[in-house]
Structure 1
Amino acid sequence: MNFNDLKISSDIKKSINDMGFNKMTPIQKLTIPKELKGADLIGQAQTGSGKTLAFGIPIVEKIFIPDKSPQAIILCPTRELSMQVAGEIEKLAFRIKKFKVLAVYGGQPIGKQTRVLKKGVHVVVGTPGRVIDHIERGNLDLIGIETVVLDEADEMLEMGFRQDIELILSKTPPQRQTLLFSATIPDEIKQIAKKYQKNPDFIKISDKKEHIPKITQYAFKCNIKDKFDGLTRLIQAYDVKMALIFCNTKKSVDYVAKHLKKLDFSVDSLHGDMTQKTRDKVMNKFKNGNINILVATDVAARGLDIDNVEVIVNYDVPQNSDDYIHRIGRTARAGKTGLAVMLVSKDETARFNNIRKANSVKIIERELPTHREIETIKNMQILENAENIIKNENLEEYMNLIKDNSSNNDYLEIAASLLKMMGSN
């Protein structure tokens, strides 16, 4: 089934084509036709499954342009995801004249958002806290809302937004359509669904295997006191250019980032205790390549969408299989391949075994490279770079310099000494 088979406007179909999409993903195939008919639903799907279009297409299709009051509201856990979702909605509605979508979130002056809301907006995308702020100030009236979407609902609940979500839902008309999308379905989500949805369809997409084959996955057993040393060995052994390191706690993030900085790695950290301004600054540094290692907690990294992350490091074993899949899904984007490595201490073995058993995730256990092996790997990398230079660059000037100024005519010996010098740097 492809998008042209849907009963939606030709303008939206053209925009979907412009975005480079043709065939629908499983979550889109199973949800869009139901949503177009007005059904409530719970969609369980991982990041990268195409859920933004799954709820975005029906929303854009149903908007009545002459009515400038909000007709749909999408709640997201973070500013980054709000901006991302609003951007996708904007692309879908590109050919629809006078269509307005606005992302509202903390960390940006409220005045600018207020002015846009007063002029009229069809779709509001935002974090629960800032949405409530606008409601309380009288900037946002939800009386005309026809569709509410809770995106990444499990993350919003984990971040403590349940009360805010329920308050927002209580301000919307009871006849609204309520769509709930989440990677996991804990009891809290079931409770919200029971209270605020009308006979929702439950759609679960087990598409984890579909997104993982391009990611090589290794696990390295080590003592907890040797974890940091193991991390630095892996960074060197795999010649990491751009890596995202996940830790389970803010304390762990701070420890890893601080000690990597001491070793002169280009690194910064990201966690929920930082101000939004600081988080934006750090993420821009990572996106722009000003730092090549980012150490983060799961929540802080939500909405971080970067195509060229080569390596994901699980410094701490995630709490469950869903978190693991979510973390490693941040590499191998846009058809590329990726590497995911995990450091496993003795007290994390049970969690590791559970992750490996779940959905037959293929994680290969390996020994941490020794310092001697790392030296060999580094030397091989230097040699490989040297061979590339020989193929692609003119070395005549340098060859003449060696001939004219070296008393040693054994060029192999000279090359070996240069390799030793470079390898020890």
Structure 2
Amino acid sequence: MTQSGKEAFRPEYSLLGQLRTQVSQVPIIGFTATLTDDQEAKVKRSLFQYKDDKPLKIIKVDDLRDNLCFEVQIFQGQHRSRNLASLLNNDPKKKSLVYFDSIVVLRSVQEELLKLRPDLKIEAYYSTLRAEHKQDTMNEFKDGKINVLLATEAAGMGCDIPDVAHVIQYE
């Protein structure tokens, strides 16, 4: 495959779209340190956007550090909260931040985790909470008084906490 007389960058990537049509239940996430916004849009259009599909999530990594690790684990069925509980740190000094797409799912998982992991201080953070409560919760998480913060994207904006050991995307 060529582009303007040069060999295309990673031509095998173009085959991912074919894979996705054959195995549509497999989640796909993209990591990049080099794609421009135009290139990202082209990748999404050409490889991963199908009419009934969720959009591809692309994470831009400016500088992949040695202390970062990306891992995908798929938990299915009614024991997903139990599987999440096993991922959380056993060291109460380490923090975990778990992101959810839905407040309803977040609250359900919170209820289950409080039963499964009474050893951890677990709190929720989402947009419809009172501003004062959100501020107090974020401060307690930063100060290490909360071990696990279950949050929607409302916690993502301006969240700069360098000592978080795990960041988990639930679902």
Which band: TM-score by shorter chain?
0.5 to 0.7
Whole-Å separation in 2 of the counterparts to 1:306 and 1:219:
22
Asked whether 1:254 is paired with 2:132, we answer no
Deviation at 1:276, TM superposition (A): 0.6
Does structure 1 conserve the Cα–Cα contact (< 8 Å) formed by 2:82 and 2:113? no
Q: Name the aligned partner's letter for residue 248 of structure 1.
A: D
Distance (whole Å) between structure 2 residues aligned to residue 213 and residue 306 of structure 1: 16
- State the TM-score, normalizing by the size of structure 2: 0.58
Unaligned segments of structure 2, at least 5 residues: 1-39, 42-57
> Is 2:92 the counterpart of 1:212?
no
Deviations 1:385-410 (A, max 9, x none): xxxxxxxxxxxxxxxxxxxxxxxxxx
Looking at structure 2, the residues matched to 270 and 279 of structure 1 have their Cα atoms a distance apart, in angstroms, of 6
- How far apart, in 1, do the equivalents of 2:97 and 2:154 lie? 13
Spell out, residue by residue over 1:7-52, the C-alpha distance to the aligned partner (whole angstroms, 9 max, x if none). Answer: xxxxxxxxxxxxxxxxxxxxxxxxxxxxxxxxxxxxxxxxxxxxxx
CA 1:225/1:209 → structure 2, altered by over 3 Å: closer, same or farther? same
Pick 1 or 2: higher relative contact order, CA cutoff 8 A, min separation 6.
Answer: 2
Amino-acid identity (%):
22
Distance 2:59 2:167 in 1: 20
Larger radius of gyration: 1
> Shift of residue 224 of structure 1?
3.4
- Equivalent positions of 1:172-251 (< 5 A) are 208-214=60-66, 215-235=68-88, 239=91, 241-251=94-104
CA distance in 2 between counterparts of 1:209 and 1:290 reads 29
- Map 1:24-35 onto structure 2 (within 5 A): none
What one-letter code is carried by the residue in structure 2 that aligns with 1:261?
Answer: L
* Cα contact 2:101–2:152 (8 A) shared by 1: yes
Closer, same or farther in 2 for the Cα pair 1:209/1:300, shift >3 Å? closer
RMSD after superposition: 2.7
Task: List per-residue Cα deviations over 1:312-354 (Å, max 9, x = no partner).
Answer: 11112xxxxxxxxxxxxxxxxxxxxxxxxxxxxxxxxxxxxxx
Q: Which structure: greater helix fraction?
A: 1
What is the aligned length?
113
Q: Point out where structure 1 has 5 or more consecutive residues left out of the alignment.
A: 1-183, 186-205, 317-425
1:58-102 deviation digits (Å, cap 9, x = unpaired) = xxxxxxxxxxxxxxxxxxxxxxxxxxxxxxxxxxxxxxxxxxxxx
- Aligned with 2:143 (options 288, 296, 300): 288
Q: How many Å apart are 1:257 and its aligned residue?
A: 2.0
